[in-house]
């Protein structure tokens, strides 16, 4: 079912969606490159991402999706949150900059999954229903392919919400351990090993002696390994 909206309403919706997506993409870039850890920023972003995911998934129940699928949505989010919490430490690394600030990076794949789910969900709503889909009002019923597509994107979105939730909880707990002195981290990203890269505050620092990065064949009988980025 399609609803008619004025051009002004359509433009406003598109601007809001574009702003949300740009903010999320910028966050992904910062996480990939490495950024200083901020408890407030981490919590605020986590709450916003979860609120968006839950809001758009819940709106499906006003558009023809059976409310009996709500437990499935919750189960997917809970299972992915638990899995992400258990394994996030393998993909996220911390280090301390010379100024004493704690930086971290990694877990980009989780953000990408969330973004794909969010974009797919918004695209279906806008393409099938139009801007009125974002008013969260009853009476907009989806059928056929659009209905099944909405359910599929909802599940992907809730999967991404769960992954982000588990990742952020693990990140906050790890940071607290670091601050209490219960966990040690390297003094520079060059000491991280696999997946390490320059931090934003040390991009222009002079490189260390190449002898530190060189491993002769006779001292490394297993052969050299190429570092992979922390995704």
| Torsion, Cα of 178, 182, 43, 157 (10° steps) | 100
For 6-27, the pLDDT digits (tens) are 544 556 766 777 887 788 888 8
Q: In this structure, are residues 109 and 169 in contact, taking their beta carbons and an 8 Å threshold?
A: no
**Residue 99, SS3 per DSSP:** coil
* Predicted model pTM: 0.71
* pLDDT given for residue 218 in this prediction: 45
* pLDDT given for residue 219 in this prediction: 43
Q: In this structure, are residues 150 and 22 in contact, taking their beta carbons and an 8 Å threshold?
A: no
Over range 64-83, report the average pLDDT.
93
Find tokens 């709500």 and name the residue: 70
CA 98 from centroid of its chain's CA atoms:
28
């Amino acid at each position: 079912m399609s609803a008619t909206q004025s051009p002004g309403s359509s433009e406003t919706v598109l601007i809001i969606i574009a702003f949300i997506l740009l903010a999320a993409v910028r966050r992904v870039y910062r996480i990939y490159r490495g950024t200083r850890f901020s408890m407030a920023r981490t919590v605020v972003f986590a709450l916003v991402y979860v609120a968006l995911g839950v809001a758009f998934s819940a709106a499906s129940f006003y558009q023809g999706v059976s409310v009996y699928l709500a437990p499935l949505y919750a189960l997917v989010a809970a299972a992915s949150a638990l899995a992400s919490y258990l394994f996030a430490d393998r993909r996220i690394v911390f280090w301390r900059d010379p100024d004493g600030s704690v930086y971290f990076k990694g877990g980009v794949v989780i953000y990408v999954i969330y973004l794909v789910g969010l974009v797919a969900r918004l695209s279906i709503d806008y393409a099938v229903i139009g801007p009125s889909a974002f008013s969260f009002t009853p009476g907009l019923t989806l059928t056929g392919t659009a209905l099944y597509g909405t359910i599929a994107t909802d599940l992907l979105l809730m999967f991404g919400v769960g992954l982000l939730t588990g990742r952020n909880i693990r990140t906050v707990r790890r940071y607290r351990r670091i601050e209490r002195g219960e966990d040690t981290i390297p003094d520079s990203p060059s000491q991280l090993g696999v997946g390490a890269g320059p931090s934003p505050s040390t991009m222009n620092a002079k490189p260390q002696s190449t002898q530190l990065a060189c491993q002769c064949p006779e001292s490394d009988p297993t052969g050299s390994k190429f570092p992979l980025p922390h995704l």
